[in-house]
Structure 1
Amino acid sequence: MPAALTTLITTPTFARHSTRPWQILEEAGAGPLRPYADAALPTDELVKYAAEADALIVGMDQITAEVMDAAPRLKVIAKHGVGVDTIDVAAAHARGILVVCAPGSNSRAVAEYTFGLLLSAARSLTASHTAVAAGGWPKLFGPELHGRTLGVVGFGRIGRLLAGYARAFGMELLAHDPYVADADMRAQGAEPAALDTLLACADAVSLHTPPDPSGAPLLDRARLAAMKPGAILVNAARGGLVDELALADLLSSGHLGAAALDAFSTEPLPADHPLREAPRTLLTSHMAACTPEANQAMGSMVAEDVVRVLTGRTPQHAVN
């Protein structure tokens, strides 16, 4: 592989907890370049730096046809993670650019974090911490999870792991995923259900599915209003899955019991966003995948596939 090849890295979390991904690129002569070590690359600078890139390793950046057209040398786009909804995959394929990701690399991290969000929301852990740190000493009540029903929307790797944690707490399980056979759900202890049935019956709902390509939220105002009164909503997947304004309204009205969110339609969350003031709400900074173990696995997987593509070999984790 020619020494002049360049891999542009736009995500600040790449290889934060392991030197191995850097070594993979450097040993292959793939010229890793990360303009910002502690922040994502601004869009205008992304276009500028992409002009010299043979490979991109990206996070939540929007990789559009415009970005690709500014990068005539580009051969591969690697998602430092799993979901590729921020990449125009069709445009990439039309230009002969491969797209790769790191499936399974962060599944356990996200599933564990999601269950932590659920438990924290149910028992008001962050509200208690905030009050105690401010000098208070409240006794906040919340439901036990044992015997409650968890609805899992999206029953892939993360959804199945979450289901296992919920079973260990004695929860009943409903699952919705049009791409998974009913028998597979039942084998994991979950009863298959239509989405609207799940929303009406579950005491807590957790989302683990990509957003609709149209941009329409999976849980719009009508579906949020149709959730079981007092239910908890957990979203550690994508912000576009939920009508956030409607969610804030339904929390304020008391229809929903709580919400715990790690993903938002706009990130960082705007200062005037209504969810900041909504009651019984736990908000975190899209960090469910942030474990050293997942970080090392993601970095190594995408670096290895970048090198495979740049050396004319077939990647192991190509996105169709």
Structure 2
Amino acid sequence: MGLKSVLITDPLDPICEQILGSAGVEVTTKTKLTKEELLKEIKNYEGLIVRSSTQVTEDVINAGEKLKIVGRAGTGVDNIDTDAATRSGVMVMNTPGGNTLSAAEHTCALIVALSKHIAQACASLKSGKWDRKTFLGEELNGKVLGIIGLGRVGREVASRMQAFGMQTIGYDPMISGEVSAQFGVEFKELNEIWKLADYITLHVPLIPQTANLIGSDVIAKCKKGVKIVNVARGGILDEEALFHGLQSGQVGGAALDVFNVEPPTKSDAAYIKELIEHPRLIATPHLGASTAEAQFRVAKDIAEQFIDVAKGRPLVGLVNAPSLAVAMTPAMKPWVGLGEAIGKIAAALVQSDGNPPIEINCVLRGSKDPGQLLFLASSSVLLGFMKQASHRKLQSMNLVNVPILAADEGIIFTEQALISSDATPDGLTEHILEVVLKTVQNGRQVVNVTGSVKASIPILLAINSGNFGNGVDLEGHMGVFLASDDGFGQALGIFKEHGKHITAVHRSTGSPQNLLLVKAATPVGKSYTQQSDLKLLASVDF
């Protein structure tokens, strides 16, 4: 996928523009745009790079007539409407590792500051007081730290606070206790953590499942005097519940780097001013990623990731299209081509039958677990089918949005893996991809198309019960014909008569129907067979 122009709308380290420019990408930087200005500007660009200030709404994405990719130079993408991007076929990328160390260090600094009352003691001394008794602290050694979210940042926090002698417990729905034990964190369910933790730190994204994760009910379950740190996202911690917890003493202290509304002075919440000024709260203005090193890394990372997209390399940081993230790898590219090709063939054959399909079933037969290949190959089949059969504009359809667009058209899509030691013939890769289409009429089978990959080349193995021996390379232009017994010679004669250059002809075996695959240098049309016994079932361009 080419990438000609990129708009940057938030301040970034110059390395981002340097990397993109050296790769031949035209870069424009315009910061502090109003929404109206952004809506007008975005239509001219294929890529958009933001940090946290720019709000990439559905309106912005829809206005991006050429937009292919939105990049977040940072981790959180809550300022980007990923659902709207997905529906429009726009990739959303972040830089998952760029902020990790800075956010982890900021978290650890706040934990230490909470335990020693450093911020409050500093402010007291600067006001002219010498008050040693008020700021009696506590040691971290032996205290229990509950870490909610055991991704990159959570793990870095764990390793650093373990050096202070803290006992680290944690929860993450995506990993097991065996995995967390490898980096010294004892896995606990949330209800256990609330009861055990002296300190709680949050390292999860803001999604519906984590909104107000810690509210008044959770605070009531915690140890009296618990200390809470949030350097993740505002909204994960219920700020009003925290305020009341600080007031009552149930919460012994808190440190916030993020807020529901930023800056919090713009919030109209009645409690916010008292919360910020509370003597047991340490507040910083979203500084978790504000280090020179982190700013350089995220700018460099997002630029390099954009170049990877442009050059068709394997991708990292792809938020809304997991299948596309692996589609660029050398091992997977042939399967993307295979899936799309046989999806096109299946769609063309069904169209000739005159019955619109309601169900597409992809079966991947192989000698081992296909892993991500099943989803990738199946999505590619759906993409090929939709490109051949749909009325939608092709440039707006890709692996990012094709499942949504297919569902919009009422297509039921299923996939399954069948593992068997003798699943594939010699010379093929470990898998065979079979596509079965059914129509509305009584769910009867219309067409079955089978293919595989041989020496990194997608090949067609069968259409229905008609087999094609060692396979037919899926490239160029192909016509699928129903022919009489002498159809082979007839096809050659007809195409020669019309000056058509045939590159290959393949006859099916094992089927009562005599199928011919005719590969030509130019598209195969019905006009060549109107005066013959040949019936064109499908014409496909790969």
TM-score (norm: length of structure 2): 0.55
One-letter amino acid of the structure 2 residue matched with residue 81 of structure 1: G
CA contact (8 A) 2:10 2:30 kept: no
Structure 2 gap segments, 5+ residues each = 322-542
Q: Distance in 2 between matches of 1:8 and 1:63?
A: 12
One-letter amino acid of the structure 2 residue matched with residue 164 of structure 1: S
Q: Distance in 1 between matches of 2:171 and 2:46?
A: 40
Corresponding residue for 2:275? 275
Corresponding residue for 2:116? 123
| Structure 1 position 294, deviation (Å) | 1.7
Corresponding residue for 2:250? 255
Range with greater deviation from structure 2 (198-207 or 188-197):
188-197
Corresponding residue for 2:203? 208
User: Does 2:45 correspond to 1:48?
Assistant: no
Q: 2:57 aligns with which of 64, 74, 77?
A: 64
Corresponding residue for 1:264? 259
Q: Distance in 1 between matches of 2:67 and 2:76?
A: 20
Q: Distance in 2 between matches of 1:128 and 1:42?
A: 41
| Structure 1 position 311, deviation (Å) | 5.1
Alignment of 1:31-180 (within 5 A): 31-36=26-31, 40-60=32-52, 61-139=54-132, 140-180=135-175
| Structure 1 position 312, deviation (Å) | 5.5
TM-score (norm: length of structure 1): 0.91
Corresponding residue for 2:455? none
Q: Distance in 1 between matches of 2:205 and 2:112?
A: 23
Range with greater deviation from structure 2 (213-222 or 252-261):
213-222
How big is each residue's C-alpha offset from its partner over 1:212-232, in whole Å with a ceiling of 9 and x where there is no partner? 236731112211222211111
Corresponding residue for 1:189? 184
CA contact (8 A) 1:2 1:29 kept: no
CA distance 1:294–1:51, shift in 2 (3 Å): same
RMSD value, Cα = 2.1
Structure 1 gap segments, 5+ residues each = none
CA distance 1:125–1:316, shift in 2 (3 Å): same
One-letter amino acid of the structure 1 residue matched with residue 94 of structure 2: C
Q: Please state whether the residue corresponding to 1:93 is helix, strand or coil.
A: helix
CA contact (8 A) 2:2 2:311 kept: no
One-letter amino acid of the structure 1 residue matched with residue 45 of structure 2: A
One-letter amino acid of the structure 2 residue matched with residue 276 of structure 1: I
CA contact (8 A) 1:152 1:175 kept: yes
CA distance 1:156–1:214, shift in 2 (3 Å): closer
Corresponding residue for 2:293? 293
Between the aligned residues of both structures, percent identity stands at: 36
Between structures 1 and 2, the one with greater strand share: 2
| Structure 1 position 295, deviation (Å) | 1.5
CA contact (8 A) 1:148 1:203 kept: yes
How big is each residue's C-alpha offset from its partner over 1:248-271, in whole Å with a ceiling of 9 and x where there is no partner? 111112110110011111111126
How big is each residue's C-alpha offset from its partner over 1:258-290, in whole Å with a ceiling of 9 and x where there is no partner? 100111111111266242232310111111112
One-letter amino acid of the structure 2 residue matched with residue 306 of structure 1: F
CA distance 1:94–1:245, shift in 2 (3 Å): same
| Structure 1 position 43, deviation (Å) | 3.4
Q: Distance in 1 between matches of 2:117 and 2:129?
A: 14
Corresponding residue for 1:10? 9
How big is each residue's C-alpha offset from its partner over 1:144-185, in whole Å with a ceiling of 9 and x where there is no partner? 101100000001111111111111000111111111110111
Q: Please state whether the residue corresponding to 1:170 is helix, strand or coil.
A: coil
Corresponding residue for 1:230? 225
Corresponding residue for 2:376? none
Corresponding residue for 2:239? 244
Range with greater deviation from structure 2 (219-228 or 249-258):
219-228
Q: Distance in 1 between matches of 2:151 and 2:39?
A: 34
Q: Distance in 1 between matches of 2:37 and 2:243?
A: 34
| Structure 1 position 62, deviation (Å) | 2.9
CA contact (8 A) 1:232 1:257 kept: yes
Q: Please state whether the residue corresponding to 1:32 is helix, strand or coil.
A: strand
| Structure 1 position 314, deviation (Å) | 5.2
Q: Please state whether the residue corresponding to 1:73 is helix, strand or coil.
A: coil
One-letter amino acid of the structure 1 residue matched with residue 75 of structure 2: V
Q: Report the count of equivalent residues.
A: 312
